[in-house]
Amino acid sequence: MGWQGYIKRDFHDYTVLCSGWVVTGDVSKADGADYRQVGRVRLGPDPLTWPRPWLDTDLHYPQLTRDQPAQPPAGAYWSNKRPSRRGGIPRYEQARAEDHPGR
């Protein structure tokens, strides 16, 4: 799964691109959405062995559940305010193509 989030850090607002693996039971379908092209991957029991998503993201979360949601980086918090400018987007954890097998 990939999404765009907003964080606040050191009195500045930033846009971050996030990715993570989501447990199927915790996904709710949106009315009218077409999910035919959404990939499904069967993952093993150990999240450390799961491949990185092929998205180029700032933040990656190995497993998200309702009980374990995505947390912002240390020193930041999630915000609902969009940055007024796109400059200065932080790069916390860059996903690399070589982290995804088969690409």
Residue 22: pLDDT above 50? yes
Cβ neighbors of 87 (< 8 A, separation 6 or more) are none
Question: For residues 59 and 84, which has the higher predicted lDDT (pLDDT)?
Answer: 59
Supply the pTM of this predicted model.
0.62
For the chain, domain boundaries: 2-25+40-99
Q: What is the DSSP letter of 97?
A: G
Coil, helix or strand at residue 47: helix
Q: What is the pLDDT of residue 94?
A: 45
Residues paired with residue 27 on neighbouring β-strands, in sequence order? none
Phi-psi domain of 75 (left: phi exceeds 0; alpha: psi -120 through 50; beta: other): left
Output the pLDDT for position 103. Answer: 41
Residues 6+ apart with CB under 8 A from 85: none
pLDDT of residue 89: 52
23-81 pLDDT per residue, tens:
878 888 889 988 888 777 888 888 778 877 777 788 888 888 888 888 998 889 998 87
